Amino acid sequence: MKSENLKLSRTDFPIVNSLDNLEVGRIYQTTNYAMLKPLKYNRGNEDGYVPERVAAIIKMIDANEFMFGIIHVIVNLKGKAIDGNNRKRGLQERKKPVNFIITAEPRFNAPNTDSEILNNVSELNAINSAWFDKDSYLSALAFDEPTALAIFNLKIEIGKTYGGIIEEMFTPSRIIVMATENKIGLSSQKQSRRTYCSKEIAEKINSDDFKSVVSFTCNVLKFVSETNPSITPWYVIRQLMPDIWKYDLSLNVVLSNLKKRGFKKMDNTKMSGVKSRVQEILKMGNVK
């Protein structure tokens, strides 16, 4: 297609001040920002927007780099913005009209609860980095979803027993990885919001068996931090856990072997050295 045949996108969308009697799937324009309600805890924020993203949008508007002829916001049948909260906020700050469209798609409407709608919204945005792991966790926690709540309570207990430095190493994602024994996920930092709503994972996190795994992990992290401050403690866990899961090794014996052989005042702080030392300890298996 030749550039001279291209047409400018429309900017003359119907101007409205309420959602009454509007057509689904048609683009409208409004400066009545209040009628486009935020979907609370979208990306973990109660107001449904991220200040840094809003600031970037305002900067684009001020530099005449923002696209005004596109759909800015998608709302469901209740008028809740399931996409475009940041764009709406930026346009509102600069008193610019917002282009929006209403969707009747079932996954974003009744009888779904707001929490389930948020699961679907986060999955819709999975193709980009719109939702980070912390966003998914905090959003689910705001609705007291089972796994998010179990993680919250577990982190409190870890902090009380082992201190804040150890507690901070237990990111929500890492706790889920440990609970699901996900070898690949040990190096991953992202979970879906839906995962934080899981009843099954919550039951595992609350179990005595898992608490013993957490206790073992905390003691390893504490030991490595105190004896080898230049080593990344969680890297040791990443090397230990897959074989522990695979061979069903005794956590107490592995910890005892760890202290007896290999990590006491280790001079070689390179990650390759850590890996080989862990493998040496694991070869000892369950033999004291």
Q: Locate 191 and state its tokens.
A: 């979970």
Query: Is a pLDDT exceeding 80 seen at residue 69?
Result: yes
Q: Is the pLDDT of residue 1 over 50?
A: no
Lowest mean pLDDT among 7-16, 44-53, 113-122, 204-213: 7-16
- The confidence band for 254, taking pLDDT boundaries of 50, 70 and 90, is confident
Kindly report, residue by residue over 21-41, the tens digit of the pLDDT. 999 999 999 999 999 998 889
What Å distances lie between residue 236 and 38, 275, 288, CA to CA? Answer: 43, 7, 20
Q: Who wins on pLDDT, 254 or 149?
A: 149
Choice among 32-46, 67-81, 252-266 with the minimum mean pLDDT: 252-266
Q: Which two tokens stand for residue 37?
A: 């309600």
- Sequence ranges of the domains in the chain: 7-131, 139-282
Q: What's the mean pLDDT in 265-275?
A: 59
Residue, of 193 and 231, whose pLDDT is higher: 193
pLDDT for position 205: 98
Q: Which residues of 136-169 are buried (b: 16+ CB within 10 A; e: fewer)?
A: bbbbbbbbebbbbbbbeebbeebeeebeeebbeb
Contact 286, 250 (CB under 8 A): yes
The pairing of strands 80-83 and 27-30 is unpaired
The number of CA neighbours under 13 Å toward the Cβ of 148 is 22
pTM: 0.84
DSSP secondary structure code for residue 42 in this structure: B
Q: Residue 30: what pLDDT?
A: 96
Cα–Cα distance for residue pair 190/136, rounded to 1 Å? 9
Please, which residues have CB within 8 angstroms of residue 36's CB and are 6 or more apart in sequence? 30, 73, 75, 79, 81, 88, 98, 100
Estimate to the nearest angstrom the gap between the alpha carbon of 152 and the chain centroid.
14
pLDDT in tens, 144-203: 999 999 999 999 999 999 999 999 999 999 999 999 999 887 876 689 999 999 999 999
SS3 230: coil
